[in-house]
Amino acid sequence: MSLLELRGLCSNVHPEDSEEGIAILKGVDLEVNLGEIHVLMGANGSGKSSLAHLLMGHPNHRITGGTMLLDGEDLSEMEPDERARAGLFLAFQYPHAIQGLPVGTFLKAAVEARRGEELSFRVFKRELDDVMGRLGISKEFLGRSLNDGFSGGEKKRNEILQMHLLQPRLAMLDETDSGLDVDALRLVFKDIREIASPDNAFLVITHYDRVLDYINPTHVHIMRDGRIVKSGGADLSKRIDEHGFETVLAEEGVDE
């Protein structure tokens, strides 16, 4: 059984206070298994981020056709918090800031919700100190308000810290490279490589081929107009890196 299985997945996005939907996904087929790293590429507006938001349960994104299963369970029947507890995680392109909510308090609540049990402060602090030490994150970080005044790199490291603690089965990274300089990008993807294991999987969403310099994907997909139109392995990523995905699609005879 696949960890994530999408078959003919279609969706609409509904702007705030509107019941009129705009078609976004138009038949996405995708299988993700444990131990795999999938990179989903494509131009802005191709549906990459919308796919992640639909899978995570964003209220403005609604399934209109097809199926989306996590461990054989229908995701469309789950609330967002249920999806998170089942092991789905989304690292946002632009994480929200919550003034007055300390990072440490947020992390403890998130871990307890994921594991379905209350943790003593001593037990959680021991685990947290270990992870932060391995990531090289200062303890002063915990007292700051969640993402409030954070640099782009700090926001991404905060989400990497969450992934270490929550141990998701499927982590979706929505344009994690956005807004990062080369040094921050290298550091973030080093952390991601350390988290990757046979017990989890990644779906990395990007429109920049530079991500392929820092991660070794098992699968690469090109998305266009709400569909995955080309899939391959590391060789496809090298071709994209050298020529760009539009040139690769033209060579493969994929029509506009």
**Where do the domains of the chain lie?**
4-251
Query: What was the pLDDT predicted at 255?
Result: 65
Which of the two residues, 191 and 99, has the higher pLDDT score? 99
Assign 237 a pLDDT band (cuts: 50, 70, 90).
confident
Whether the per-residue pLDDT at 245 is higher than 80: the answer is no
Can you tell me the mean pLDDT for 192-217? 86
What's the one-letter identity of residue 40?
Answer: L
pLDDT tens digits along 103-135: 999 999 999 999 999 999 899 999 999 999 888
**What are the backbone dihedrals phi and psi of residue 201, each rounded to the nearest 5 degrees, phi first?**
-150, 160
What is this structure's pTM? 0.90
pLDDT tens readout for residues 5-31: 999 999 999 876 666 789 999 999 999
Single-letter residue type at 228:
I
> Six-digit token pair at 29?
């087929």
In the CATH hierarchy, which fold is given to the domain comprising 4-251?
Rossmann fold (3.40.50)
Confidence of residue 256 (pLDDT cuts 50, 70, 90): low
What's the token pair of residue 202? 């990644």
Instruction: Specify the higher pLDDT residue, 33 or 151.
Output: 33
Among 10-19, 158-167, 212-221, 225-234, which stretch is predicted with the lowest mean pLDDT? Answer: 10-19
Q: How confident is the model at residue 207 (pLDDT cuts 50, 70, 90)?
A: confident
Beta strands in the chain (DSSP E): 4-13, 22-32, 37-41, 61-70, 73-74, 88-91, 98-102, 145-146, 170-174, 201-206, 219-224, 227-232
Per-residue pLDDT at 155: 87
pLDDT tens per residue across span 80-97: 999 999 999 999 877 888
CA distance 47 to 29: 13
Q: What is the mean pLDDT of the chain?
A: 89
Q: What is the mean pLDDT of residues 222-244?
A: 87
Confidence class for position 227, pLDDT limits 50, 70, 90: very high
